[in-house]
Amino acid sequence: MDHGRRENHRNDYRPIERPLAATENEQPMKILRYIFCLQCIVAPCALLSAADTLAIKGAKIVTLAGDPIENGVIVIRDGKIEAVGANVSIPIEAHVIDATGKVVMPGFIDAHTSDGLNEANERNEVVPFLSVVDSINPVQDYFEESRRNGVTTAAIVPGNNTIIGGQAAILKTAGQYVDDMIVKRNAGIKISLRPASGTRMSQLARLRRELDKAKIASEKKKSGEEAKPEAATPEAPKPADAPKPEGTPPEGGDASPPASATPSATDAENVAKGTEAMIAVIEGKLPVFLYCDTAMDVSAGKQLVEEYKLNAIFVLGRDCHKAAKLLSDRKQPVILDKNLVFWETNPRTRKDEKIILPKIYREANVPFVFQTSEGSLRSTTTSSSYLWYQAAIAVKHGTPEIDALKSLSLVPAQLLGIQDIVGSIEVGKDADLVVLTGDPLRLSTWVDKTIIHGKVVYDKSSDQKLKRLLSPKAE
């Protein structure tokens, strides 16, 4: 083997020494390459910024904060309303929606619903430590239907089959994850006066017991004394023939409690959370969604509110109209039942009477907002499924149109305490808007686009489900 030859080959591989002039000539090229790379990074950011600027022109704008603006312009930047008026300049980088001949309103607000939850009610009747946030599913049909119907914000509240049903939350109706949708996490607590089990006497007795415990805990907290959370009130005894829960030993067997019956750290934590929530209720810091099923519940509810100084939002069943005058001195909007017009038989005269809730409450000087059908009652053909239809019924029976329109957005925003960010079209508020094809209260009007945080989250032109519904193909 010729080692000398291999050594000669090894010596042949030497770095090429470039002339100094060539190295100096590469410096401008390096600078140009650097500038090009920088542009590649900055350009998408500039496009993203432009995409965050939206303008709507040519529409009639019902701001609910002043007179309607004919042929107006709304400029939206970074999800907020930047400008609104008849003579507003449109930024050159804005994406423009031509809404000529259409109407733009603030997005509708559903002030009370249990839709969007996996379950509306818990088996336990006193659960102030629970939050609906843990049960909300963003892909449920409710949110899709809400966007289709122009609803941009909703108060998701536990159901009515409870005593203290847990904490409500206010959400936008668009978002990939629940945390993206939340406007107010602890928006109130649900209390129902309709008996979940037993009688109205036992319902009120158990409710007063919980409120009294919270009142004592609040006083201890104010005095600096450590308030030890009390265990939840035991459930009412069940009939002997009621099915026994899993893990109950047979008669005559070992009566020792199963391991799960031993209080755990989680149980103690839940009790502590529940106590804090109820203290906030007693101190008026946490609103109460107070459901009244009958007229007698309104009287009992008002007494509770005055006795415990509750910050209450009355959610009324349809029979509560008989006690409408009891609420006239509160000057706070109530949430009406979804059935605004119905017939009932007068027990004294035996005659059928037509009951029109908006008319009765308006004549009693009680302001109101609407709610829609829930769960299996909600459909694309049921009139009580649409907030705008509820408003149209109110106008038909004497409610001024502007009041009915405000009850869709501004009044529920005020009732829920979110009027600083939504409810009207004003500079600085969230760009939650609904573009309508015509008059908001006409039956022939459609939602053309729904906008949340400045993003178009619904467009009628690309709604395949609606197209299939309106133009079904023969099979």
Those residues whose C-beta lies under 8 Å from the C-beta of residue 3, and which sit 6 or more positions away, are none
Same domain, 376 and 330: yes
CATH number at residue 438: 2.30.40.10
Whole-angstrom distance, CA of residue 73 vs CA of residue 99: 9
The residue segments making up the domain with residue 362 are 108-230+267-422
Same domain, 73 and 165: no
Strands 95-98 and 103-106: unpaired
Tell me which amino acid residue 379 is. Answer: S
pLDDT in tens, 199-210: 899 999 999 999
Same domain, 95 and 117: no
| The 3-state secondary structure of 62-109, one letter per residue | CCCCCCCEEEEEEEEECCEEEEEECCCCCCCCCEEEECCCCEEEECEE
Same domain, 171 and 272: yes
User: Is 17 part of any domain?
Assistant: no
Same domain, 121 and 38: no
Same domain, 350 and 413: yes
User: Is 238 part of any domain?
Assistant: no
For 289-338, give the DSSP string. Answer: EEEE-SHHHHHHHHHHHHHHT--EEEEE-GGGGGGGGGGTTT-S-EE--S
Whole-angstrom distance, CA of residue 254 vs CA of residue 88: 80
User: Is 249 part of any domain?
Assistant: no
| Domain limit, last residue, from 422, 443, 461 | 422
Strands 433-436 and 341-345: unpaired
User: Is 15 part of any domain?
Assistant: no
Instruction: Please state at what angle helix 200-222 crosses helix 295-308, rounded to 10 degrees.
Output: 10
Instruction: Of 113, 53, 39, give the one whose Cα is nearest residue 88.
Output: 53
Q: Would you give per-residue pLDDT tens digits along the chain (475 residues)?
A: 454 444 444 444 444 444 444 445 555 555 555 554 444 444 333 333 445 899 999 999 999 999 999 999 999 999 999 999 999 999 999 999 999 999 999 999 999 999 988 777 777 889 999 999 999 989 889 999 999 999 999 999 999 999 999 999 999 999 999 999 999 999 999 999 999 888 899 999 999 999 999 999 999 988 877 655 555 444 444 444 444 444 444 444 444 444 444 556 678 888 889 999 999 999 999 999 999 999 999 999 999 999 999 999 999 999 999 999 999 998 899 999 999 999 999 888 889 999 999 999 999 999 999 998 765 444 444 567 799 999 999 999 999 999 999 999 999 999 999 999 999 999 999 999 999 999 999 989 999 999 999 999 999 999 888 888 877 664 4
Same domain, 46 and 149: no
Whole-angstrom distance, CA of residue 335 vs CA of residue 412: 9
Q: What phi, psi does 302 have (nearest 5°)?
A: -65, -35
pLDDT in tens, 229-274: 555 444 444 444 444 444 444 444 444 444 444 556 678 888 889 9
Instruction: Of 153, 113, 124, give the one whose Cα is nearest residue 291.
Output: 113
User: Is 242 part of any domain?
Assistant: no
Q: For residue 236, what is the DSSP state?
A: P
Q: What number of helices (H) and strands (E) belong to the chain?
A: 12, 18
Facing residues of 164 across strands?
126, 191
- Asked whether 193 and 300 are in contact (CB, 8 A), the reply is yes
- C-alpha dihedral (154, 158, 160, 166), degrees to nearest 10: -140
Instruction: Give the pLDDT score at 470.
Output: 79
Q: What phi, psi does 228 have (nearest 5°)?
A: -80, 125
CATH number at residue 329: 3.20.20.140
Same domain, 186 and 65: no
Those residues whose C-beta lies under 8 Å from the C-beta of residue 226, and which sit 6 or more positions away, are 220
Same domain, 348 and 462: no
For 110-142, give the DSSP string. Answer: EEEE-TTBS-SS-SSSB-TT-BGGGGB-TTSHH
Same domain, 400 and 439: no
Instruction: Of 64, 51, 145, 147, give the one whose Cα is nearest residue 103.
Output: 64
Length of the chain: 475
Same domain, 312 and 206: yes
What's the pTM?
0.80
| Domain limit, last residue, from 407, 422, 437 | 422
Instruction: Of 164, 158, 166, 169, give the one whose Cα is nearest residue 193.
Output: 164
Facing residues of 345 across strands?
352
Same domain, 284 and 385: yes
User: Is 261 part of any domain?
Assistant: no
User: Is 255 part of any domain?
Assistant: no
Whole-angstrom distance, CA of residue 52 vs CA of residue 115: 31
User: Is 360 part of any domain?
Assistant: yes
Identify the sign of the CA torsion 85, 88, 92, 96.
positive
Q: How many domains does the chain have?
A: 2
